[in-house]
Amino acid sequence: MSNIVAIVGRPNVGKSTFFNRLVGERIAIMDNESGVTRDRHYGQAEWLGYYFTVIDTGGYIEGSEDRYEAEIRKQVTMAIDEASVVVFLVDAKQGITDLDKDFANVVRKFKKPVIVAANKVDMPSQGNYISEFYALGLGDIFPVSSQTGSGTGELLDQIITHFEQKGDENPYEGLPRISIVGRPNVGKSSFLNTLIGAERSIVKDEAGTTRDAVDTRYNMFGKDFILTDTAGIRRKARVKEDIEFYSVLRSLKAIEKSDVCIVMLDATQGFEAQDMNIISLAHRNKKGIVVLVNKWDLVEKDSNSAKKMTDYIYQRMAPINYFPIIYTSVATKQRIFQAIEKAMEVYENKNRKISTSELNDKMLPEIQAYPPPALKGKYIKIKYITQIPTHNPVFAFFCNLPQYIQVPYERYLENKMRQHFQLEGVPIQLVFRSK
């Protein structure tokens, strides 16, 4: 069992700031508006040789009618259920509130070790106000400041006394990372929840439900990887509020960190300019790409619809048209596992190493059949090809006049490479060097 610490409390007590402080980077979005965090959010931390996972949660409000708050309550109770230690964060400046008291009753039911942290004690003199929190009946109170970090050492000393083992330094180390990206409301969170068979992300019919990039470990059917659900990416001009701006930033960061991007489209809305931008973004970042056309069950179609749509997408994306396209419906679970199979296949293609002899056996006959066109009366001779050891597939073609290779010929070589070797879904780079 791994060490897990859940940070819980009512809205706006500073849980996300505290979470970022423990994990040592700004992963969770912070804002003075309440209700910014909605889904459970995971990060890794270490203290005195003990490694543990920290979960940031949304603010818990008992009995509220708001439809998001009901979902947030569900996410919070799932986090407490998972945790080995619960950090109950309260606001020392505001003092004890009815929401704190109600939530203390909820936390007590779980019979987990609970540590009360009175946040926003930015100066030692403010520590005098915290005694009223003993009324929660949850034991000692630790004054902390998530802003300055004061008091967190004593709190962490207390947390690790509840761990039975040292824990793994990074349980995610070396696992493939697959991010689910796309415009708002195409079904990214529903896709994640359906795959893992649990409510990992909150799902609603309105755009902007997911705000942070949410990591989940997927370990089924012999596959083991990290899935990241992201906020919908809209055009800059359409992003009005700060929170959405940071959400989009987190999504872009998730693309940078991932190995493969599953780009989701909404079949009912067709292939839009923003979908093209997102695919181009994954391509520019040299990520594996799988395109998933969701809500395919809602479209009127004939036996030729998928082919027409595929041709249309490839034509608009040319020359970036090396990615597989899968037609799916998350609502009816149609082909969703096929999408994951394909993403893992693309990951393997991205990490494939092709031997120099195999490259030359297949590619030199193609080059002889159609040699590079002469330029300024000079003939170009490609002597041999080898793969360069990099994170992404890069192939070096050694020739007498590398500067004379033209773009159309480079495209020809790339197409032949894709024909002979399994490189579906992967951006490849060809470099020309003098022998």
Give the integer Cα–Cα distance in Å for 373 and 205: 55
Regarding the domain delimited by 4-160, which CATH topology (the fold level of the hierarchy) does it fall under?
Rossmann fold (3.40.50)
What is the pLDDT at residue 189?
A: 79
What is the pLDDT at residue 202?
A: 43
What is the pLDDT at residue 328?
A: 94
The dihedrals phi and psi of 65, each to the nearest 5 degrees, come to -85, -15
Average pLDDT score over residue span 129-141: 88
Tens digit of pLDDT for each residue in 243-258?
445 556 766 777 888 9
Closest to 207 measured CA to CA, from 232, 238, 182: 232
Lowest mean per-residue pLDDT among 57-71, 90-104, 144-158: 57-71
| SS3 labels along 193-259 | HHHHCCCCCCCCCCCCCCCCCEEEEEEECCEEEEEEECCCCCCHHHCCCHHHHHHHHHHHHHHHHCC
Which of 22-36, 142-156, 416-430 reaches the highest mean pLDDT?
A: 416-430
| SS3 labels along the chain | CCCEEEEECCCCCCHHHHHHHHHCCCCCCCCCCCCCCCCCEEEEEEECCEEEEEEECCCCCCCCCCHHHHHHHHHHHHHHHHCCEEEEEEECCCCCCHHHHHHHHHHHCCCCCEEEEEECCCCHHHHHHHHHHHHHCCCCEEECCCCCCCCHHHHHHHHHCCCCCCCCCCCCCCCCEEEEEECCCCCHHHHHHHHHCCCCCCCCCCCCCCCCCEEEEEEECCEEEEEEECCCCCCHHHCCCHHHHHHHHHHHHHHHHCCEEEEEEECCCCCCHHHHHHHHHHHHCCCEEEEEEECHHHCCCCCCHHHHHHHHHHHHHCCCCCCCEEECECCCCECHHHHHHHHHHHHHHHCCCCCHHHHHHHHHHHHHHCCCCCECCECCCEEEEEEECCCCCEEEEEECCHHHCCHHHHHHHHHHHHHHCCCCCCCCEEEEEEC
Q: The whole model's pTM is what?
A: 0.69
Specify whether domain 356-434 bears CATH 3.30.300.20.
yes
Q: What is the dihedral of CA 378, 384, 388, 392, to 10 degrees?
A: 80
Pairwise pLDDT comparison (235 vs 301), residue with the higher score: 301
What is the pLDDT at residue 199?
A: 56
Give the integer Cα–Cα distance in Å for 208 and 38: 11
What is the pLDDT at residue 277?
A: 87
In this chain, the answer to whether the domains covering 4-160 and 177-350 adopt an identical fold is: yes
Pairwise pLDDT comparison (240 vs 190), residue with the higher score: 190
Assess contact for 180 and 188: CB atoms under 8 A.
Answer: yes
What is the pLDDT at residue 325?
A: 97
Average pLDDT score over residue span 357-377: 93
Lowest mean per-residue pLDDT among 91-105, 126-140, 264-278, 420-434: 126-140
pLDDT above 50 (res 167): yes
Regarding the domain delimited by 177-350, which CATH topology (the fold level of the hierarchy) does it fall under?
Rossmann fold (3.40.50)
Average pLDDT score over residue span 302-307: 90
Average pLDDT score over residue span 34-46: 65
Give the integer Cα–Cα distance in Å for 173 and 91: 35
Pairwise pLDDT comparison (242 vs 266), residue with the higher score: 266
What is the pLDDT at residue 254?
A: 74
pLDDT above 80 (res 276): yes
The dihedral of CA 58, 59, 63, 68: what is its sign? negative
Domain ranges of the chain: 4-160, 177-350, 356-434
Assess contact for 430 and 319: CB atoms under 8 A.
Answer: no
Closest to 396 measured CA to CA, from 385, 406, 412, 380: 385
By percentage, how much of the chain surpasses pLDDT 90? Answer: 46
Average pLDDT score over residue span 360-373: 94
